[in-house]
Amino acid sequence: MAARHFLRNPKDLQDYGSWAVVTGTTDGIRKALVFELASKGLNLGLIGWNPSKLEATSSELRDRFGATTEVKTGVADLTKLSGEEIAAAIAGATEGIDVRLLVNDAGLAYPYPSCFHEVDRELMESMLRVNVNAALWATKGVIDGMLKRKRGAILNSGSGSSVCIPSFPLLTLYASTKAYIRIVAIYKFDRVNNVMDYK
C-alpha cells in the first residue's frame, strides 16, 4: 500500500529512443547499469578511459544480448581532458546515432577521507574535471538534439553526500562537486521540462 503512494511506475526507456550514451561504464555499479540498460533493449554508446576494459565490456554485452544491442565505444580519460576535448570525444562516440538518453555516471572520489587542505592538487583538478566538467560538457553535447526532437532524458549520477548529511568535512570537494551537479540539474531541467515532451 505504501509503495503505491511513494514509488512510481518505471519509465519505458525506449519511449525516449533506442540509443543511450553512458560515461564511466567498465566497473562496479556503473557496469551493472550498462547491462540493465541493454536488458531494456537500448543500444549503447560507452565512454571510458581504458580501451581494454571498454572492449571487454562491449564483448560481454554482445555475448549476453547478441544482435539485439548495438554497442559503440569512445575512449576518453576525463581526468585529463578539457571541456572542448570532452565534447569532441562524446561527439566522436555518438557520430551517426540519435542519442535520446545520456547517463553521466563517471565519477571520482578520494582514495580515503581527507581534510580539504590535505587533498593533492592533481586529485583536486581530476575530481573537478570528472565530476563537474565531464557531466556538463557531455550534457551540452546532446541536449540541443534532444530539445530539437522534444524528446530525451539525462540522468546525472549523484551522491547522498550532496543532500543527506549537512556537513562532510572529510569529503568536502567530492560532496561539493556532487551538490553542484545536483543544483545544475534542478535549474537546467526546470527550464528544459517546459520545452521537452516527456512521456
| Residues involved in catalysis | 174
Residue 131, phi then psi, degrees to nearest 5: -80, -25
Residue 96, phi then psi, degrees to nearest 5: 85, 0
Task: Evaluate whether 17 touches 101 at the Cβ level (below 8 Å).
Answer: yes
Task: Spell out the residues 6+ positions from residue 69 whose beta carbon is closer than 8 angstroms to its own.
Answer: 38, 41, 42, 43, 44, 61, 62
Name residue 42's amino acid.
L
Our separate counts of H helices and E strands in the chain read 7, 5
As given in the structure block, the three cell numbers for residue 174 are 567530492
Q: Measured on CA atoms in the order 54, 12, 198, 42, is the torsion positive or negative?
A: positive
As given in the structure block, the three cell numbers for residue 187 are 535549474
In 10 A of CB 19, how many CB atoms? Answer: 19
